[in-house]
Amino acid sequence: MTSSLFQPITLGGLTFPNRIAVAPMCQYSAEDGSASDWHLYHWMNLAMSGAGMVTV
């Protein structure tokens, strides 16, 4: 039996591959209010982690 955590789910017409979500984080705030290359690399790694949703 597979855990429902790893099953797809559809919310509001959008289907996610699993039910794992990365919550938004604010410990790495940008100095000028804009995302830097560091932020983009960090988000890219989170997106590639296998989580079904990454909240920015």
Is 80 exceeded by the pLDDT of residue 13?
Answer: yes
pTM over 0.85: no
- Cα–Cα distance measured from residue 49 to residue 22, given in angstroms and rounded to the nearest whole number: 10
pLDDT at residue number 1: 67
**Arithmetic mean of pLDDT, 14-41:** 87
Where does the pLDDT of residue 19 fall: very low under 50, low under 70, confident under 90, or very high at 90 and above? very high
Least confident of 4-13, 14-23, 27-36: 27-36
